[in-house]
Amino acid sequence: MADHDIRVLDESNFRAAHSLFRGTLHSAPATDERWEHVKASYDPGRAFGAFQGDEMVGTAQSWPAVLAVPGGVEVPTSAVSRVGVRADWTRRGVLSALMRRQFRDYREAGEIASVLRASEAVIYGRFGYGVASRGRQLKFDRHRVAVTPSAGTGGRIRLVDLDTGVALAPELYTRAGLTRPGMTSRWSSWWTMNLDRVLRYDNARMAVHRGADGDDGYVVYEVKSGMGEPHGKSVLTVEDLVAANPEAWAELWRFVFRVDLVDEVVGELRPLDEPVEWLIANRRAAKVTDVEDETWLRLVDVPAALAARRYAPAEPVVVRVRDRYLPDNEGAYRITPDGAERTTAEADLGLDVDLLAATYLGDVSFTELAHAGRLDVLDGAALARADALFATERAPWSGTYF
């Protein structure tokens, strides 16, 4: 029998939960000044604590969001963060209990999916989360970058101050829209915890592009100077780049490349298919230095999730899904260009729910998983059909860290 219980947290224990979470990352509790900045990011009813008696030993929380899935559909989703179990209580079922409670509440709220960013890659697969999008890190040798000519449509870029940036960015993000599978809405406290924080505390800057129809994009960047250090480099890192159209996107990158007193430009966790290299004449000045997992996706309601996304033209396939934590998701699903539904037909392919999540946004194909021995292939011809049905035009990507 479990020697802990899961409770919904309120304002009286939000700070204790935050300190516990930071402790699991080997960080000190937030200072009073930082806590004033953080406390509004705890949504009532969405933060949980695991308790032994009156002592908190674990915590997790989430925010309500929407997730863009293939076909341009946006589905209700939970964005999970601040998950941690105290070091003296790990491997005693605390995290499992927190996850089960969250899944139950997500379903009651009608949130058919859940997304998170994983601190470690071996934790969340057992709870049904799979890597559903990845990002690449790009490094540009600023001294070798020759920017290609602009189309010359008359756009203009200006630097903005903290108050202007904080007011403008949410409007511009909404205008740009969730244009890729994997992108999520950004809740109000996201802007406080991320944009406001980096502009206020981290010496970041924000530039806004204005096109023919008004402001249509922005870039947030930070420069860490190497001046005064032996062999030091000044590195400009792109923290967030949002554009409502290709012109704004290209001009914002051109602006970044032209910032003076910079030796290296870094784009972190950018989309795998973002054509930044084509903005410079010497593509050898650009290096892909890493590819990392980004979105970890959990299909909380598999029938609803499969029915929500759109599929490409191809012959039908029947997929059998296994789900240890949410067994009512288990079963066979017939997937066609017109949608997906449960079926009693024999399965062509079989896989666990975390691997279904990995294919769901189009990041990995069924054939790739089959080659790695990760799924059951009952009909070899079904792999090509499944790959075609789940194919997407653009690589999935979120761009929102939380």
CA distances from 45 to 49, 103, 105, 107, 189 (A): 11, 14, 10, 14, 15
Q: Which of 57, 55, 59, 22 is nearest to 38 (CA)?
A: 22
Which residues does the annotation mark as catalytic? Answer: 124, 402
Tokens of 359: 């294919």
C-alpha torsion angle, residues 12, 16, 21, 27 (rounded to 10): 140
Buried-exposed string 210-222: b where 16+ CB fall within 10 A, e elsewhere: bbeeebbbbbbbb
E strand segments, 22-132: 47-52, 55-69, 73-85, 113-116, 130-131
* 166 close to 196: Cβ distance less than 8 angstroms: yes
CA distances from 345 to 81, 177, 305, 351, 381 (A): 39, 39, 20, 16, 16
* 366 close to 349: Cβ distance less than 8 angstroms: yes
Tokens of 277: 């290299």
Tokens of 401: 């860290």
